[in-house]
Structure formats: structure tokens, C-alpha cells
Amino acid sequence: MEETMVIIVGAGPAGLATSACLNRLSIPNIVLEREDCYASLWKKRSYDRLKLHLAKQFCHLPYMDFPPNAPTYVPKNGFIDYLDNYVSHFGITPRYLRSVESVIYDSDAEKWQIVVKNMTTTDNVIETEVYTSRFLVVASGENSQGTIPDIDGLDSYGGEYIHSNQYENGRKFRGKDVLVVGCGNSGMEIAYDLWNWGANTSIVVRNPVHVLTKEMVKMAMIMLQYLPRKAVDKITVAISKLKYGKLSKYGIQRPKKGPFHLKETSGRSPVIDVGTISKIKSEEIKVLPGMKSIGDKDIVFTNGETVQFDAIIFATGFKSTVRNWLKGSYESFDEKGMPRKSLPYHWEGRNGIYNVGFSRRGLQGRSPVIDVGTISKIKSGEIKVLPGMECIKDNEVVFTNGATVQFDAIVFATGYKSTVRNWLKGSYESFDEKGMPKRSFPYHWKGGNGIYNAGFSRRGLRGISSDAQNIANDIYINITADLS
């Protein structure tokens, strides 16, 4: 049995970011990874043409920017190089081929017990390891396992079918009739890649989807720093309509809600077009509705049409597997393996378990400053800007730059705090009729007794960075308090 302060389950970007933040604070931690490398989704289960869909300034992990010469939209190999440098710089040493079999909280010892299969041994002998820790970080992510829908006849399908995490490129599908199921970013980009490789490509589009360019998204993210989300949604949708026209005549419906509203409230991302839409309009890629059944190579669709395909690629998403191994902490995760709590209590459960990236707060987590004329007065010197306050003596204020200034009054515009602790007595699980937490800021990712989880935010790498730093700092505070 090995004991440490923090166990991190998963060595994807969320687990790496959390370990880096803990290492900076000199907090002992062990990262357990079931694959033989870190960031296995990027290294082993992503297609060749993949790029970060957001500009690099929105995608770096804590305490390390991308190199200045990196392209704005970093390609797969460039991001892997970045992660390699990140792991080396912060001294992160995951333990690979460790499959977590069960995790349970020992309330008497006030520690987590983690049972792990060590698959690194030779002669096909699998050893069992046991770890104990005060804190547990679930960083296995919401993309832990690919999902394929249950379709009548799929088991007897006469062609080849794979999940998108097995797709590398369209080389072997040249000249074949291929169906892509799923119209998210992966589905749309894989369809375009197949067309580039000479496959006869069709794509299933079942749900309404926003289609934007990467330039539209970058512009929107900048606007979100200055304008309300509702205004940004209206502007972005209007530009999309100007760019793409009426997509419904090609089988693609636009959602009634705006793209950034959907991202914040449901985690659904807009599709960033890489050229697929022009091929759909020219009928070089065919759009089909939902699948009804499969017979040999014939696929029957919900509109009654029957089409034969040589291969099917399911770009139908992923699911969390946390409920497979986290025992007895179902108050923290629902039946889908996702945290029950949302903003602002999304990142911490009970007994020292934490999670990173469950906030569903969308691409921007900060409120902008709306200028009402203050900036012009600052520029003219009529309003003076000073750094942080160090101390106050009588009516003199000493600032961190050493300046001392006398004031007749001080107005503290230093924000607010929740009073939930004043009235919420002994209950950490309080949800409304919709199953959403009633609690709000400032304890948005923290519950009780030390459980954290990482990599489920649906906010991308920026959300991972923010929550990883919060988790590391919170653990550091807990440890420091114990020592004192």
C-alpha cells in the first residue's frame, strides 16, 4: 500500500494541468493513467488533420503559453509537442498502464482507497496495487469512452464500422461509399477529410446545429469581453447567415437559441466549418436524416430512403466511465458519470473529491468592464490609477509601490459574497425540481471533505486551466491549515 496526499485519475490535459499546479505548490501527487502515454486521446485516438478549434491564446494550460511562433490554430502535432514540453517543464511523472478498478472513501481513516491493476508486468501477470490519499482528483474526463448508438441491425452490418476515435485519415476509404454519423465538429471535419481522400461521403444530420468559421468564433470570443452574450449571439448568427445563407434547404437546421447560449447552458459547441458546407451545397457530400435500421450493407433512414454503404464512422461522442470505478460516491456523479452539481458548486464533492471543468459556463468566465467614460478621465489624468493597498495609517494609505497618499474617504467596490452558509445547515446536496443545485457563488466548485474531479467542464482547455489552479490552491490551503 502506498500513501500520498493527492491521487489524480487520468493523464489527459486536465490531469496534467492539475499535477503541474500541485507540483508548483510542492504538494505530493500521483497521476494514474490506464494507457501507456499521457494525452492518449490526442496521441492515439485523434485524426491527422485535427487542429485546436479555438485560437491559441484561449487554449494554453496553466503557467505556460504556446510559443510565439506557434500558429493561431495549433495543429494536433503542435499541441502534442506543447504537452511534451509542459510535462517536462513541470516534472509530471504519470504511472502508466494503471487501470483504476475501484475507489472508496474510508470514513474512519478519512482517506480515499484506490485499487489499481498494474498492467506493466511481464508474463501476462497483472498485479494489484493499493493507494491511499486524502484528496482525489477525477481527471478521467467526459471523453473517457467512445459511444455508438444502439441501431437495429448494426451487429449484422456487412461493412466496416468504427468510432471516430479510431479514425486517422481517409486513405483506406478511397472510392468507397462511407457514411459519417454525427454532425459535430469531428463528424463534419471527418466528412470533409473523407471527401479529400476520394471517398463517396454522406453525413447524418439529426439535430439543429450552428455553423461558424474559426474567424467568427475568435471575433465572438473577443466581443464577449465587452458585450453581453445575447448581443454576441445575435451578431454571430447574423454573420453566419450572411456567410452560409439558408442551410435548411441542404438538410441543416439552425437552433433557435444562440451558439454561445447553448455552449454555456448545455455544453454544445457550434460547428467550426473547415470546408464541409461548400461540399454539402455542391452535393459532393450528401446530408441524410437519422438512421432507422441496418440490413447487411443497406441502411434505412427515417425519411424512408434506403442507401448502401461500405463503411460507417460514428462521430457520436463519448461518455464518462467514472461510475465504473468510483464506489459509494453517487451523490457526486449522476448515472451518466457527470457531476450532479453545476455552477457554482461544480468542482468539489464530499470527502475530498474534486472535479475540473464541469461549470458549463461557456467560453468566457469573466464579466467585462463596460466603459462609461472612466477611461478618458484616466487618460487625461483626472482619475489616478494606483496599485494594491498595503496598509492604512490614520487617513494615509500606503500602496504596494511605496507611495503614500492621504484620502478623506475610501469606497470599496470589492464585490460580494454568498450568504448560503448562513442558512444551509448540514446539507450539501440541495437541488431544485430540475435537478440543478440551488447554491451559488463563491463555492462554485467545492463541496466538502476533499473530493475533486477534472476534465469534464465542456469549456475546453481554458476551463481546465482555471479549475486545475483552483483545485491545487484549495488543496494547498487545506494542507497548510492542518499543519498550523
Q: How many CB atoms lie within 10 A of CB 228?
A: 13
Q: Check residue 198 and report its DSSP letter.
A: T
Extract the C-alpha cell encoding 80.
Answer: 502534442
**pLDDT computed for residue 199 by the predictor:** 93
326: which strand partners? 103
177: which strand partners? 200
Beta-strand ranges (E) seen in 44-159 are 98-106, 111-118, 127-138, 145-146
**pLDDT computed for residue 459 by the predictor:** 55
Nearest Cα residue to 145 out of 372, 408, 325? 325
Q: How many CB atoms lie within 10 A of CB 406?
A: 9
Taking only the tens place, the pLDDT of each residue in 243-272 is 999 999 999 999 999 998 888 777 788 888
Contact status, residue 36 vs residue 101, Cβ threshold 8 Å: no
- What is the C-alpha to C-alpha distance for residues 137 and 322, in angstroms, rounded to an integer? 11
**pLDDT computed for residue 465 by the predictor:** 77
Instruction: Inform me whether the pLDDT recorded for 462 exceeds 90.
Output: no
**Domain annotation for the chain: domains and CATH numbers:** 2-144+320-355 (3.50.50.60), 146-318 (3.50.50.60), 374-406 (no CATH), 420-483 (no CATH)
- What is the C-alpha to C-alpha distance for residues 237 and 235, in angstroms, rounded to an integer? 6
- What is the C-alpha to C-alpha distance for residues 61 and 454, in angstroms, rounded to an integer? 13
**pLDDT computed for residue 276 by the predictor:** 92
- What is the C-alpha to C-alpha distance for residues 34 and 246, in angstroms, rounded to an integer? 46
pTM, full prediction: 0.61
Extract the C-alpha cell encoding 1.
Answer: 500500500
Q: How many CB atoms lie within 10 A of CB 393?
A: 9
**pLDDT computed for residue 66 by the predictor:** 92
Beta-strand ranges (E) seen in 359-476 are 389-393, 396-399, 404-406, 451-453
**pLDDT computed for residue 198 by the predictor:** 94
Q: How many CB atoms lie within 10 A of CB 124?
A: 6
C-alpha distance from residue 120 to each of 92, 129, 176 (Å): 19, 12, 40
Q: Check residue 58 and report its DSSP letter.
A: G
Average pLDDT of the chain, as a whole number:
78
**pLDDT computed for residue 257 by the predictor:** 93
- What is the C-alpha to C-alpha distance for residues 474 and 450, in angstroms, rounded to an integer? 9
> One-letter amino acid identity for 147?
T
**pLDDT computed for residue 368 by the predictor:** 27
Q: How confident is the model at residue 103 (pLDDT cuts 50, 70, 90)?
A: confident
**pLDDT computed for residue 40 by the predictor:** 86
